[in-house]
Each structure stands twice: as C-alpha cells, then as structure tokens.
Amino acid sequence: MAEILRCNAASGAYDITIGKGVWEKFASFPGRKLLVRDGNVPNPGIEADGEIVLTPGEQYKTFAAVESICRRAAQLHLTRKDLFIALGGGVTGDLTGFASAIYMRGVRFIQIPTTLLAMVDASVGGKTAADLPEGKNLIGAFHQPEAVLIDPGFLKTLSFTDLTGGMAEVVKTAVILDRQLFDRLEAAGESSVLAPDFDSFYVELIKRCCQLKAQVVESDEKENGLRAILNYGHTFGHAVEQKSLFSIPHGAAVAIGMNAAGILAAELGMWSSSEAERQLELLKKLRLPVTVPAEFAPAELLEIMRSDKKNDSSGIRLVLPEKIGSAKTVSGIPEKMMLKAWELCHD
C-alpha cells in the first residue's frame, strides 16, 4: 500500500506518494504531457505526447537545457493546461521545474525522482534552478509540483556510491531536524545503505525525510527564515562541487561540507566537539568523503563561497548545528574561521 503525505505549501498543496509503481499515477493527470528524462534513466513505460532526454551531469544544469525543454514544449504546442513530467534525479527535477515555471508564465509539472537524493530532498519543496558559471542555482524560481510520485524500486538500479550520495542528504536532515533519525542511522551504519529489508527500510526513510521537509516548506515556502536550515553543508559543499568542475557529485560534496560546517561550529563553541565527531564518524560509516583534495586551496574555496546565493550584506551566511537535531543560520563569521575549517578538513 502506498504512503501518502501532504505538502501544504502556501502557493499550492500537493501529495507526495511513496510506494511500488506509484509513478504510473501520472496517467491520471489531465492535459497533454512532455516527458523530461535523464539520459541515464530508461523510460519505464511513461507514454507522453513528447519527450526530451537531458544529458546527465551537474555541468549540464544550464539555462540552455531549460531553453531546450521550453522549445520542445512549444514545438508540441503545449498550453498552460498541459503538464511536464520530470523523470530522473535532482538535476532533471530542477531543470524541469524551472522550465515549467517560466514556460507560458507557468505550467504544471510532476516529479518522479529516481535517485535517493531526489527522493529524500530535491523533489519536494518547489525549488527549481539552473547553474551559471559564477555559481550553482543562481537562476531559478519557486514553483511547486502538481505531485511527487516516489517509487523506491528505482533505487535498486543505483550503484552503492549513488545510494551513499543520497544518504548524505538523509544525514543532513537528521543533524538539523531529527535526533532520533540520526541515532537510527548511527546504529545501523553502512548496513543501512544496503539494508536486508531494502523496500521497507527505504520507504520509511524517504517518508520521514519528506515529512520533515514538507513541514519546513509549509512554514517558510520561499526561504525567508526557517527553510534556510535545509542548506546545511551546502555552502561549503557547493564550493567543493564547483572547484572540482562537478567531478565530485553533490551528495559527496555535501558530506564534505557538513564536516567543514561541523568543524567550524565546534571551533565557535556552538556544539560540542563530541557531536562533531559523531557526525564525522557517521559520514565515514556510510563511506562518504569527509575531506577535500589537497590541491583545493582553502582561499579558492572561500572565494567561491562569497558568490553563494544565500549571502547577505553581512557576508557569507552559513547553517551551523547547535546540537544533533537542531541548527540555525549564522552570519558575520570571520572569514579566517572559515579558512581554518577548510584547513582542518583537507587531505
């Protein structure tokens, strides 16, 4: 039986449906349909009026890709009453959502995430975007989906590395919002990635992460306050992604970013060194990277952080943990402290 959650975002409520084969519900939505598919994901049997296949990879998360989606929709003569379907990971969902937000000033879209990272985080909340050479997600829109259809069966097609990348976002959620979830992950360790009860484990994991994110989105849809904590590890992590020319994938970069943020929080006395160590050991148990390559100069990473979209007049804004299960946004931290955090998480 499928699990159904409700996200009551201010600009539009929708269901998040989790279960085997739930992606087939796309057929019940009215309108003509454009399928936007990640090139790594075979079509499981979605029949649409048109299809566009995106080149996989963060380096292709560009406005040119958004334009290609919109042009395909125009070629099909789709209208505001029609529907875009995103089939793939976070990049596909972000690009499809952004295209649907601006095509004819807004059409509906459905998220069918196929990666753990997208299932537990990117597919929920209505953040859509493309990257610029100057930084990640600098152009985009808040545009909530019509529905999110999550079939954990797609996870069985993923590599161990892809699964652990998704687990980085689960750890993020646990550190900022749910101590019990952190304790559960800590107890299971690496075995949680390839759990013997794979289906039931991931359904519950995805359900909990979606519940928590939906609650945050409902209280602060457009990131004017609380929602910013969902960026934990991302300001540091985005710098790692960009410096690596996206050879380090998002989940791995966020894991490194959480370690850097955890080190900084401990240096500032915001949380204990023992809690920072617990976070570090959990990331290691899940076989996630926690250090940046030696050739990544701290000063260069800090320069990238200065272009982060979350910054304000006081400088770089960071999400830092207060304890496991709680975090807050902090501004005005001396840059020398950030440099020290980078230095402490180098190879």
* DSSP of 268-332: TTSS-HHHHHHHHHHHHHTT---SB-TTS-HHHHHHHHTT-TT-BTTB--EEEEEETTEEEEE--
* DSSP of 66-93: HHHHHHHHHHTT--TTSEEEEEESHHHH
What is the number of other CB atoms lying within 10 angstroms of the CB of residue 71? 13
Whose structure tokens read 């993923």? 158
Helices and strands (H, E) in the chain, number of each type: 11, 11
Residue 119: both structure tokens together: 């299932």
Tell me which residues are annotated as active site.
105, 127, 169, 213, 223, 227, 231, 234, 238, 250
d(CA 326, CA 279) in angstroms, rounded, equals 13
Residue 276: both structure tokens together: 């920072």
